[in-house]
Chain A
Amino acid sequence: MFTLLVALLIFSVVNYFISKASWRVGSIINALIGSYLIFQVFTIPKGTEVTIGKFLGETLALQWTNAGFYFSFVSLLVIVAVMFFAIKWLDSQKHPAAFNMFILMVTAGSLGVFMAKDLITLYIFWEIAVLSSMLIIPMGKKESRKAAVVYAVMSAVGTYMFLYGAFMIYSRYGTFSMPEIAKNLANDPSTSFKVAVVLLIAAAGIAKSGIFPLHTWLRIAHGNAPDAFSAVLSGQLVKLGSYVLMISVAVFPSLKIFANLKLYSGVPAPNYFLIALGAASIIIGTLMAIKQDDMKMLIAYSSVANGGYILVGIGTMDPLGFEGGVLHVFNHALAAAVIFMAFASVVYRTHTKKISELGGLIHKMPITYIAYLFAIISLAGIPPMSGFISKWMIYQALVRKGMFITAAIAFFGSIGSFLYVFRPLAGVFLGQLPRKYKDVKEVPPIMWIPMLVLVAISFVMGVWPFPILQPIENMRADFGIAPSFKIADAQNWLVRGFSGSWNPVIVFNLFITGFIVAYILYTLFPKPKKVDLLKPHKEEGAPINIYTSGEFIYTPELYHYNTKFYAGFERMYEKHPSWEKLLYMLAKFFHDVGEWIHGWFFRPSPSAYTFWLAMTILIIFWVRW
């Protein structure tokens, strides 16, 4: 495993030079390597352990666990799809060679994180992933430079809190190895220490997966990163955060650790705190996503909300909730990746990501549209896509636990997700095609095939979820969360909740039946006359042929509703307090302190220097005597 990672890292540099010669070759090689890696993750036997080396007397090691397998697999699905996508997409980019290098580094870093057995290895690979992704982000448009900095800082805040926590653990138990830490924590009498440590470890996940206090980087980073890379950011890198959150509540068995700290219906207080943060992210992500005009930022906020779902699910430590949260990782990864790739396709053709400048692209890019449509069905959690299964599990868990407020927030986020995913659907793909895009074409197959493949996977897993549920069940058994309780019942085709179940196959069949019945009805009755919505584009002087109150309209984009889509609702919270502004104020505060220090101590004349020298002497004497 370690050789694999090192080979990836080294090859990423080699690939830079290959890509310098011909970036297309480089990207094809990347895609092939990625495909090979997917194959590879299935072949590594579970429980394999590899020692990397020693660091300050502590052994660093990799371990292949069920959780690592699951997360690696999901990550690789997303990354490989993007790699294939990039083969063509990269010709719109300025730095293809560097992109090829860094995306391979991201892969290596992420896999390393999922394979890590101890916190320091995790940290090292984590930073590799952060560093390389941080260097891809500024390849985008103007705003992306700032985005990279914000991303780096937020990530660093979380990471260093993680590091602090890791060292606190080390100073107490003398080990970094996660299984041992789990054992030690379970027997530790000091509650405050355990709470502090778990929350500090979770901080990295909070920052990375965009949970409430540290969520603001998602908007700017996902919104401005190179378009296809946003798919990796949202679909994969954010999941590193979910992984760490899972470590902090599940690998360190919070139910055992905080057995005396159960707050409400068996949920320990620190978990409850995390759940509260997750709930806050759901609210913020949903509300902010609803009002975005920039489609990438919209989905960025949706990633905040979905990160919240994952955290809420995992945080309950209920078998259903945990499994739902972990499954939501898969669903959101695929959905977000497809959505961002679809947007990348749109931007690739139209060069804008403002919803208010787009419209009617379904006439020109139907395949992209289909991919987007199924992705949002999954994201909104509507059967028969797999997104529903995870949401269902999370709801079941919340209802069973009687966590009504959290449940209400989750419902709010879920219904809100209809609103925000529909906004790009209506604004970008449906409606009237602006005249300037009349010569836009569908993207080439190498770009849409990856999207459709991901969508197909999500669809199949929605109808027959047991292959993806099985690894999660294994994972749950590893963590000892009610291992006797079986959720996925493949024999009876059932997904079981608490005394209530459902059969995804029946639901799918019903849906298909309904569709067929509807289609039969449809064909029975008179054939429709086609209204050509593109007539004004084709024929000079033809008005659009839809209901216009008898008015003649020749400019289709005037008759397209995509600005302030939910104006009535947005108006209700337009004067909301902005956390982002608050964080900027904090940054400004540090900046001002810097200015103050600079102005008082560093800039002035010799007199001031003398003054400070004298003051130092005097103060020290005063303190000493």
Chain B
Amino acid sequence: MMVLLIVLPLIFAFLAAIKKSFSYPLLVTSTVVNVIIVLLLKTSVPSVHVLGGWKPPFGINLVLDDASYYAVLIANIVFFLVALFKETVGKYSTVLMVMLAAVNGFVLTGDLFNSFVFLEILTATGVILASKRENYYNAFKYLVLGSLAGSMYLLATIFTYTQVGSLNMAHASYFAISEKAIVVITILYLVGLGVEAKLFPLNGWVSGVYGGNDLSPLVMATAVSFAALYMMGRLFLTVFGGYALHILYVLALITIVAGELAALYQKNLLKTLAYSSIAQAGIVLAAISKSTEKMVSLAYFHLTNDVIAKFVLFLVATFLVYNYKNLNGVFKKHKVLGTAFTISSMSLIGFPLFAGFQSKLRMLMEMFKTSDYLFPAVLLFATVIELTYLVRWNVKLWFEDIEDESEVKGPALRATISIILAILLVGIFLAPNIILNPTTKVAKALLDSTSYINNVIASSMGGM
């Protein structure tokens, strides 16, 4: 059934390509069906689907364990939410469907080369999305960087193949790789995935793509970002068993600082948020690189909060940016959107009463328990800067005197969804376990490579 997650959107995309006018209904259908499928799949975790009867390690297999299930769930819900906005989606329904397939495939696949393919599709569809609203040059930059990263990824995959003799992740994890080779492999993977995971200094594309139009940030900053960061955990924790994590740690810390400082400098709302999401990715990566169960769990907890908050922020911000020339005091006209925006940004900062507080504070506490004093310092420093620009934007949007007198009709759907998600953030503060329980399972699944291998191997032992 899990193969449907990939196949269904692809088929629908082909159908949409044939009949253009059906594309939007097809998108909605496919996302709805996908969400339903994901929810139905809940019972079959963990399981391995073997494609075409080729048993691992020879064939391609899809692995649904706690980790990938959670990532797929988030990604599909995001796509479902994005699909609701007909005007925003516009002509890009087909692309979104392909992208959905790619994201699902990327997350679910148990095969390195297959993940490369999905990564490339992801990049290509991302480029197309990024080119909305004539944002061609930024899209092109993303294309160059993305495919360069793809090449690195491919190289790494091939190196793995030469070492392991198989492209299966479980196999790669199972067999010992020589010390020299694993350095090359992990570094190439780090670079290859780093581009999508927004690792400094490979994240130059982010501001152009997130800040260029109203669709790409909604998808890229949330679902794709989540998928990439999930893959980061999968590769570096499960497959390569914690190798090269210190490099990741250092780069992640630099990413945090660089992202926040760039965001501080930035005058454009969307780009500010883009840089903020770079910094958040840095925080998540740094937490992942600690590779303890709690930290990884908190990393994905934080990532979830970030995804929700960023989704709301971008939802509101894109609406504002593309409807008003001057944003001063614009929330006086859109109180609900404003409230959602404020709550999300406060959550991002980590004020109490909002979800970000739970993840940030727990992370700090955990770091201190493992007596790592650098990361908390960087995190708190970053938070100060983050607070600076987010408060600046909030104050500007709420309190400045209105300069753009035009009145755009309040978008009911956008307001509803953003406020619901914002309330969800408060809910997560009150009951963090609704997110923490799944993310703990994610962390377990990612860190426990033995059971991952066993899963995959078991599927090859048993019949189809």
Report whether B204 and A593 are in contact in the complex, using a CB–CB cutoff of 8 Å.
Answer: no
Candidates A167, A613, A620; contact of B364 at CB < 8 Å: A167
Bound-state Cα–Cα, A125 to B365, Å: 18
Bound-state Cα–Cα, A164 to B148, Å: 41
Residue of A nearest to B258 (CB): A597
Report whether A149 and B388 are in contact in the complex, using a CB–CB cutoff of 8 Å.
Answer: yes
- Is A602 on the interface with B (CB-CB < 8 A)? yes
- Is A550 on the interface with B (CB-CB < 8 A)? no
- Is A601 on the interface with B (CB-CB < 8 A)? yes
Report whether A624 and B365 are in contact in the complex, using a CB–CB cutoff of 8 Å.
Answer: no
Distance in Å: Cβ of B248 to nearest Cβ of chain A: 10
- Is A608 on the interface with B (CB-CB < 8 A)? yes
Which residues of B are found within 8 Å of A128, using beta-carbon distances? Answer: 351-353
Selected interface stretch from A29-37, A131-139, A365-373: A131-139
Selected interface stretch from B24-32, B81-89, B375-383, B409-417: B375-383
Which residues of A are found within 8 Å of B367, using beta-carbon distances? Answer: 167
Report whether B368 and A167 are in contact in the complex, using a CB–CB cutoff of 8 Å.
Answer: yes
Chain A interface helix/strand/loop/mixed: helix
Which residues of A are found within 8 Å of B385, using beta-carbon distances? Answer: 590
Report whether B201 and A145 are in contact in the complex, using a CB–CB cutoff of 8 Å.
Answer: no
Report whether B141 and A609 are in contact in the complex, using a CB–CB cutoff of 8 Å.
Answer: yes
- Is B206 on the interface with A (CB-CB < 8 A)? yes
Which residues of A are found within 8 Å of B188, using beta-carbon distances? Answer: 617
Distance in Å: Cβ of B367 to nearest Cβ of chain A: 8
Distance in Å: Cβ of A23 to nearest Cβ of chain B: 16
Bound-state Cα–Cα, A590 to B258, Å: 10
Which residues of B are found within 8 Å of A171, using beta-carbon distances? Answer: 368-369, 371
Report whether B391 and A602 are in contact in the complex, using a CB–CB cutoff of 8 Å.
Answer: no
Distance in Å: Cβ of B368 to nearest Cβ of chain A: 4
Report whether A594 and B265 are in contact in the complex, using a CB–CB cutoff of 8 Å.
Answer: yes
Could you mark each residue 343-375 of chain B with 1 if its beta carbon is under 8 Å from any beta carbon of chain A, else 0?
Answer: 000100001110001000110110111010100
Report whether A145 and B262 are in contact in the complex, using a CB–CB cutoff of 8 Å.
Answer: no
Bound-state Cα–Cα, A33 to B367, Å: 42
Which residues of A are found within 8 Å of B368, using beta-carbon distances? Answer: 167-168, 170-171
Distance in Å: Cβ of B352 to nearest Cβ of chain A: 4
Q: Assuming the A-B contacts A606-B140, A610-B148, are A160 and B202 also in contact, with contact meaning beta carbons closer than 8 angstroms in the complex?
A: no
Which residues of A are found within 8 Å of B396, using beta-carbon distances? Answer: 145
Bound-state Cα–Cα, A125 to B353, Å: 10
Bound-state Cα–Cα, A621 to B187, Å: 8
Report whether A613 and B202 are in contact in the complex, using a CB–CB cutoff of 8 Å.
Answer: yes
Could you mark each residue 118-140 of chain A with 1 if its beta carbon is under 8 Å from any beta carbon of chain B, else 0?
Answer: 00100111011001001000110
Which residues of B are found within 8 Å of A149, using beta-carbon distances? Answer: 388, 391-392, 395
Report whether A148 and B395 are in contact in the complex, using a CB–CB cutoff of 8 Å.
Answer: yes
Chain B interface helix/strand/loop/mixed: helix
How many chain A residues sit at the interface, stated as a range, is 35 or more
- Is A569 on the interface with B (CB-CB < 8 A)? no
Report whether B183 and A612 are in contact in the complex, using a CB–CB cutoff of 8 Å.
Answer: no
Which residues of A are found within 8 Å of B148, using beta-carbon distances? Answer: 609-610, 613
Give residues 138-168 of A contacting B (CB, 8 Å): 138-139, 142, 144-145, 148-149, 152-153, 156-157, 160-161, 163-164, 167-168
Could you mark each residue 185-228 of chain B with 1 if its beta carbon is under 8 Å from any beta carbon of chain A, else 0?
Answer: 00110110011000011111111000000000000000000000
Distance in Å: Cβ of A136 to nearest Cβ of chain B: 10
Which residues of B are found within 8 Å of A598, using beta-carbon distances? Answer: 262, 265-266
- Is B428 on the interface with A (CB-CB < 8 A)? no
Bound-state Cα–Cα, A602 to B357, Å: 29
Distance in Å: Cβ of A87 to nearest Cβ of chain B: 23
Which residues of B are found within 8 Å of A608, using beta-carbon distances? Answer: 204
Which residues of B are found within 8 Å of A139, using beta-carbon distances? Answer: 399
Report whether B247 and A127 are in contact in the complex, using a CB–CB cutoff of 8 Å.
Answer: no
How many chain B residues sit at the interface, stated as a range, is 35 or more
- Is B400 on the interface with A (CB-CB < 8 A)? yes
Report whether B376 and A164 are in contact in the complex, using a CB–CB cutoff of 8 Å.
Answer: yes
Q: Assuming the A-B contacts A145-B400, A160-B383, are A134 and B391 also in contact, with contact meaning beta carbons closer than 8 angstroms in the complex?
A: yes
Bound-state Cα–Cα, A170 to B201, Å: 35
- Is A56 on the interface with B (CB-CB < 8 A)? yes
Report whether B364 and A601 are in contact in the complex, using a CB–CB cutoff of 8 Å.
Answer: no
- Is A265 on the interface with B (CB-CB < 8 A)? no
- Is B144 on the interface with A (CB-CB < 8 A)? yes
Bound-state Cα–Cα, A148 to B388, Å: 10
Distance in Å: Cβ of A104 to nearest Cβ of chain B: 14
- Is A513 on the interface with B (CB-CB < 8 A)? no
Distance in Å: Cβ of A134 to nearest Cβ of chain B: 7
Which residues of A are found within 8 Å of B130, using beta-carbon distances? Answer: none
- Is A605 on the interface with B (CB-CB < 8 A)? yes
Report whether B265 and A595 are in contact in the complex, using a CB–CB cutoff of 8 Å.
Answer: yes
Q: Assuming the A-B contacts A128-B352, A601-B258, are A167 and B365 also in contact, with contact meaning beta carbons closer than 8 angstroms in the complex?
A: yes
Report whether B384 and A153 are in contact in the complex, using a CB–CB cutoff of 8 Å.
Answer: yes
- Is A591 on the interface with B (CB-CB < 8 A)? yes
Which residues of A are found within 8 Å of B229, using beta-carbon distances? Answer: none
Distance in Å: Cβ of A20 to nearest Cβ of chain B: 10
Residue of B nearest to A593 (CB): B261
Which residues of A are found within 8 Å of B187, using beta-carbon distances? Answer: 617, 620-621, 624
Bound-state Cα–Cα, A152 to B263, Å: 17
Report whether A616 and B183 are in contact in the complex, using a CB–CB cutoff of 8 Å.
Answer: no
- Is B72 on the interface with A (CB-CB < 8 A)? no
- Is B119 on the interface with A (CB-CB < 8 A)? no
Report whether A602 and B364 are in contact in the complex, using a CB–CB cutoff of 8 Å.
Answer: no
Report whether A601 and B200 are in contact in the complex, using a CB–CB cutoff of 8 Å.
Answer: yes
- Is A604 on the interface with B (CB-CB < 8 A)? yes
Give residues 26-75 of A contacting B (CB, 8 Å): 55-56
Residue of B nearest to A145 (CB): B395
- Is A603 on the interface with B (CB-CB < 8 A)? yes
Distance in Å: Cβ of B223 to nearest Cβ of chain A: 22
Bound-state Cα–Cα, A621 to B247, Å: 11
Which residues of A are found within 8 Å of B140, using beta-carbon distances? Answer: 606
Report whether A594 and B364 are in contact in the complex, using a CB–CB cutoff of 8 Å.
Answer: no
Which residues of A are found within 8 Å of B200, using beta-carbon distances? Answer: 601
Supply 6 A–B pairs (Cβ within 8 Å), ascending by A. A124-B352, A127-B357, A152-B391, A167-B376, A168-B368, A621-B187
Q: Apart from A153-B387, A163-B380, what are 5 other A-B pairs with CB-CB below 8 Å? A: A123-B352, A164-B376, A612-B201, A620-B187, A624-B183
Closest 7 CB pairs of A and B: A594-B265, A594-B261, A171-B368, A160-B380, A606-B144, A138-B399, A612-B201
Interface residues of B (CB under 8 A from A): 140-141, 144-145, 148-149, 152, 183, 187-188, 190-191, 194-195, 200-207, 247, 251, 258, 261-266, 275, 346, 351-353, 357, 361-362, 364-365, 367-369, 371, 373, 376-377, 380-381, 383-385, 387-388, 391-392, 395-396, 398-401
